[in-house]
Structure 1
Amino acid sequence: MESVLSSSHAHRTPWTDFKQLGHASIRIETEDGSVIYIDPWTEVLDGEPGDGNVVFVTHDDFDHYDPNAIDAVAKPDATVAVYEAVDTADFSFEVVDLSYEGEATIDDIDVRSVPAYNDPDSDHVDDDGDPFHADGEVIGLLLTIEGTIVFFSSDTDFLPHHESIDAEVFIPPIGGHFTMDRHEAAEFARSVDPDLVLPVHYDTFDPIETDAAAFADELEDEGVRVELF
């Protein structure tokens, strides 16, 4: 696990610790000690930390909605905020629903849900020609954490409505096949114009193997900081 410490823009980086846990799982710890997880997955966790104050879930794929992983990372009184399309009927925690499009405040974190999906006309479709992630199945998260905007796009292509998004920290998938590839993610990053890019969702399975170093080099040549896990 690689810890990404605050950059030289101290006023724009509220966390003391930011970890890419692997695949699409993220852990953020703020200066006041609050811990936030996004899409924790058992396969990339180191034990059962049980330190999470807030856990976000963006959709119901097994590598994003993993009840056992949430149990492992969450404190007993944690707030678990889940996209409302996910079936959490058998889940042990009380859940706060997140809408497909909308705004909410979760434990002092301003949250904007952003539609995420594969363009039906893209290459990210199954053998029947259906998108791996259809419109309505996934959300991205635009989070304002102690004044810093973090955008976790989740499993998606770069879509027209994304062009209005600005964030200091951008967390895109880059593996391709089920999501945008590294070239599309680089274009997306240029649009967001972040201080820091933390790519995820690559090299876990054969279909999403990619040249992450080339992605990082391409953006860093343009002055954008990239950290790989």
Structure 2
Amino acid sequence: MTVTYDGLTVEWLGYATVRLEGARVVYLDPGRYGVLTGEWEPDSPAAAGAHPSGRDYRPGDADLVCLSHVHHYDDGGLERVSGDGTTVLAFEGIDPRDSGRDLPRLSELPYDVREVSMEDDAVAADLPVWTVPAYNEPGGPHTTADGAPFHPEGLGCGFLVSFEGTTAFWPGDTDVLEGHAELDVDVFLPPIGGAFTMDRREAAALAERLDPELVVPIHYNTFEALETDSAAFAEDCRERGLEVALDEGGE
């Protein structure tokens, strides 16, 4: 299933992976947990019907790939979506040593890799791109038992990408932060799984304040800790006067 708004095609491929196609093809955080290899399996029957089905996906059509933080850095997923002319825009704080996985350094990747900070602006693949901070508040609801944030400030960022005036916003793995509601957003791609990010209720409240033209939730039901009621999120958004699409496609 794909969703369209004003010439922009949005496809959630699983976990945090989104494909955006307008004047260019952009991927956000491609890969992890078998969502691009066909190996993804749901942890529960409820998740099976409310998450994109895992498939062997290797289009190699990316003009631009945006990487928000080390948890979403997957060199195998990156290779599946990238081609000879792909530009990678990666958060500068991505350090493979923080992953617990065998990952190459960004400088070792065979692509045009550019690093960005938490509050940056760039033109990449002829598209305007802006970054915003993404983190969990210390002592907040999305922390470890001792109150430490799963995503401390400085670990990652969110991305806004403009396609000929239509702006898509992926906030990254984050709480709702001061300043989010001030952004000018047409297509909002909130994480709604909770546990490590804003949950579905927090995301719906932020969506109301942003007032985008379209909401497409992502980053949920990939594994047990992210399981949530996406239909309830959609209903919550609609009651707030928002257009929402569930791009799930589970079998």
Query: With structure 1 as the length reference, what TM-score do the two structures score?
Result: 0.90
Alignment match, 2:45 = none
1:168/1:196 contact within 8 Å kept: yes
1:14/1:147 contact within 8 Å kept: no
1:90 positional shift: 3.5
1:108 positional shift: 1.8
**Counterpart Cα distance in 1 of 2:196 and 2:240:** 27
1:223 positional shift: 2.1
Alignment match, 1:145 = 163
Alignment match, 1:4 = 3
Distance 1:94-1:108 versus aligned 2 partners, 3 A rule: closer
Higher relative contact order by CA 8 Å / sep ≥ 6: 1 or 2? 2
Q: Deviations over 1:26-47 (max 9, x none)?
A: 00111x4x21111001522232
2:69/2:157 contact within 8 Å kept: yes
Which among 19, 22, 40 is matched to residue 30 of structure 2?
40
Aligned amino acid, residue 5 of structure 1: T
2:3/2:11 contact within 8 Å kept: yes
Alignment match, 1:204 = 222
Q: How does 1:93-104 map to 2 (within 5 A)?
A: 93-104=111-122
RMSD of Structure 2 on Structure 1 (CA): 1.3
1:208 positional shift: 1.2
**Off by >3 Å, runs of 4+ in structure 1:** none
Q: Deviations over 1:86-109 (max 9, x none)?
A: 132443323111111121111221
Alignment match, 1:10 = none
2:140/2:147 contact within 8 Å kept: no
**Counterpart Cα distance in 2 of 1:166 and 1:51:** 28
Structure 1 unmatched runs, 5+: 7-12
Report the 3-state secondary structure (helix = DSSP H, G, I; strand = E; otherwise coil) of the residue aligned with 1:44.
Answer: coil
Alignment match, 1:75 = 83
State whether structure 2 residue 74 is matched by structure 1 residue 66. Answer: yes
Aligned amino acid, residue 3 of structure 2: V
1:121 positional shift: 2.7
The structure where strand makes up a greater share of residues is 1
Aligned amino acid, residue 44 of structure 1: V
1:172/1:199 contact within 8 Å kept: yes
**Counterpart Cα distance in 2 of 1:47 and 1:172:** 23
1:83 positional shift: 0.6
State whether structure 2 residue 168 is matched by structure 1 residue 176. Answer: no
Q: How does 1:156-167 map to 2 (within 5 A)?
A: 156-167=174-185
2:135/2:152 contact within 8 Å kept: yes
Alignment match, 1:21 = 13
Query: With structure 2 as the length reference, what TM-score do the two structures score?
Result: 0.83
Percent same amino acid at aligned positions? 42
Report the 3-state secondary structure (helix = DSSP H, G, I; strand = E; otherwise coil) of the residue aligned with 1:186.
Answer: helix
1:137 positional shift: 0.6
State whether structure 2 residue 185 is matched by structure 1 residue 193. Answer: no
